[in-house]
A = this chain, B = another copy of it.
Amino acid sequence: MPTLLSHSSKASLRGLGLGFPGLSQPAAISSCSPNRSFSLGRGKDTRKERVVILGSGWAGYGFARTLDPAKYERVIVSPRSYFVFTPLLASTSVGTLEFRTILEPVRRLSGIGFYQGWADAIDFDRKTIRVETNAAEEVASKTVVPAPATGATQAVTAPPKPKGDLIDIPYDKLVIACGAYSQTFGIEGVREHAHFLRDIGDARRIRLRVLSLFEQCSYPRGTDRLSDADKRQLLHFAIVGGGPTGIEFAAELNDLIRDDLAPMYPDLMPFVSITVYDVAPKVLPMFDQALAKYAMDTFARQNIKVKTEHHLQRLRLADGNLGQRHGALKIKIRELGEQEVGAGLVVWSTGLMANPLIAKLAALELAAPGPNPVASQSTPRHLLRDARTGGIVTDAHLRALTETKDTAATRGILEDVYVIGDCAVMENDPALPKTAQVASQQAAHLAKRLNSGGAAAVAAKPFRFRNWGTLTYLGSWKAIHQSQADELRGWVAWVVWRGAYLTKSMSWRNKLLVPVYWVVSWLFGRGISRF
């Protein structure tokens, strides 16, 4: 593979700390292959093209599942060793389902190549990814919220010191599906004190926290005396963000408390409350007025409070013992002035922000396309980044776009690089939501096109999104569903909801275990052991 880097772009890569020091050459393909199914020792002409996929979420895992292993060598690079079936994450956080029933280990894909780690840098010209490895058993499976950078450039010029080993993975085709991060709007204390609900470790931490709070409030008064007011604070569960994730978590939490915890801690029930906060005038904006009202009526009957047009300004640990020993939080809300609201748990679910890797990649200077890269040396070319969301802009075929900074700001295609899922912004449809549905449709489309005829087949047919509608669980066996074709509510929606989830994207193992757990939890109660 000849080095395509021009002198100036090499220099700029080094300036950004992306010059891949330490390894003089990217590892040859044969030295990177831990798996028998890799085609070792053959010449380039006969071996299968290597498709490297960054990410193992709805986009990355869905793509890898669909891509034909007979035609391509598939390699996933992801900090997580599994795919999470996110629609059921809230169910695992309250013990209705066991955590592992919604996970699909990447290595269960037959013949897959897998490197657990973060893509730290990509050399598009030499078609090599530098990966920071991450296989220590302490790995937390926890949502990472990047520390706020004082400016975008700082994040690029001063990357954090790598903790893992660094390895280089070459590719023939690259699929960027590294998703997005949780959006905190830089609000003080959210990164440190809020719980997120995007990964399995988050769900585990939330389950432990909820159960622990009840246990902590159940002791008689000891040397450290919890007053009734203290218990009221600790057993206040605050959810910030009134989208489907926040609403479903509130509903599932309420089910857990009513069905399982109330019989065990009857004396604590008067102190329990659940509140959903949102800045918008109404929650569940994707549902029409009637369904949203039905949701609010259902919540009101279950005594879940919904506070719209509330702006959270700060989250901090409560003073004294209540904060230090019990982890109580204080929420400052603009509409309530100086009076803070106490809570034992704050679940944060307000949307997504771009993965910091994207800014890093967009800052790279790319070699010019075509047979003579030196020719256009004077006109720098970059990956095109969406100014509003920070994602990578793609064409209608999910190919990464570039911009050459000449007078016309010419757009082009970055050969062999595709972007799908939450980190992609489609040029022709920039308003596509960042949902599992979009990501999995993009993944399936791209993989099928590549299966049917490689890059030419991708170019032959654009991606088109089909809206299957939105479903939200409301607790007490009720849900609402809305699509262009129909509207459903009540237990009918619940049956549709559960049925639809079962048949989508799950392995047979989990297709079997999820209904088993539904029955077991219904018969014997949810999983409440704490460890």
Which A residues contact B (CB, under 8 angstroms)?
Answer: 22-23, 27, 31-36, 80-82, 98-100, 103-105, 107-108, 114-116, 133, 135-137, 139, 141, 165-169, 199-201, 204-205, 208-209, 211-212, 215-216, 218-224, 264-268, 325, 327, 507-509, 512-513, 516, 520, 523-525, 527-531
Contacts and interface: CB of A to CB of B under 8 A. Distances in A.
A60 to B, nearest CB: 16
Contacts of A524: 507-509
Contact of A531 (B22, B82, B222): B82
A82 B137 contact: no
A224 B133 CA distance: 10
Contacts of A34: 218-220, 265, 267-268
B165 A81 contact: no
7 tightest Cβ-Cβ pairs between the two chains A and B: A167-B222, A135-B215, A141-B531, A137-B212, A137-B208, A509-B524, A32-B220
A531 to B, nearest CB: 4
Given A34-B265, A100-B529, A135-B212, A167 B205 contact: no
Contacts of A115: 218-219
B82 A525 contact: no
A429 B513 CA distance: 47
A209 B137 contact: yes
Give the copy number: 2
Given A81-B529, A82-B530, A116-B215, 4 more contacts: A22-B223, A27-B221, A135-B215, A139-B531
B529 A136 contact: no
Contacts of A33: 220
Contacts of A212: 135-137, 139
Contacts of A531: 80, 82, 99, 103, 139, 141, 199-201, 204
30 contacts: A22-B223, A31-B221, A34-B218, A34-B220, A35-B266, A35-B267, A82-B530, A98-B100, A100-B527, A103-B529, A105-B529, A108-B528, A133-B219, A135-B212, A135-B218, A136-B325, A137-B209, A137-B211, A141-B531, A166-B222, A167-B220, A167-B221, A167-B222, A167-B223, A200-B531, A201-B531, A204-B531, A509-B520, A509-B524, A509-B525
A102 to B, nearest CB: 10
A201 B530 CA distance: 10
A223 B103 CA distance: 31
Given A98-B100, A103-B529, A166-B222, A215 B81 contact: yes
A522 to B, nearest CB: 11
A103 B27 CA distance: 47
A520 B512 contact: yes
A221 B34 CA distance: 11
Contacts of A221: 27, 31, 167
Nearest to A519: B512
Grouping DSSP codes into helix (H, G, I), strand (E, B) and loop, the A interface class, with mixed when no group exceeds half, is mixed
Contacts of A508: 523-524
A107 B528 contact: yes
Given A99-B531, A266-B36, A531-B82, A219 B107 contact: no
Nearest to A210: B137
A520 B528 contact: no
Contacts of A136: 212, 216, 325, 327
Given A107-B528, A116-B215, A222 B133 contact: yes
Contact of A528 (B105, B209, B507): B105
Contacts of A82: 529-531
Contacts of A116: 215
A394 to B, nearest CB: 30
Most chain B Cβ neighbours within 10 Å, of A103, A137, A325: A137
Contacts of A327: 136
Contacts of A267: 34-36
Contacts of A27: 220-221
Contacts of A168: 222
Nearest to A203: B531
Most chain B Cβ neighbours within 10 Å, of A36, A107, A220: A220
Contact of A216 (B36, B99, B135, B141): B135
A484 to B, nearest CB: 36
A220 B139 CA distance: 20
B133 A31 contact: no
Contacts of A98: 98, 100
Nearest to A114: B218
Given A166-B223, A223-B23, A266-B35, A137 B513 contact: no
Contacts of A527: 100
Contacts of A220: 27, 31-34, 167, 169
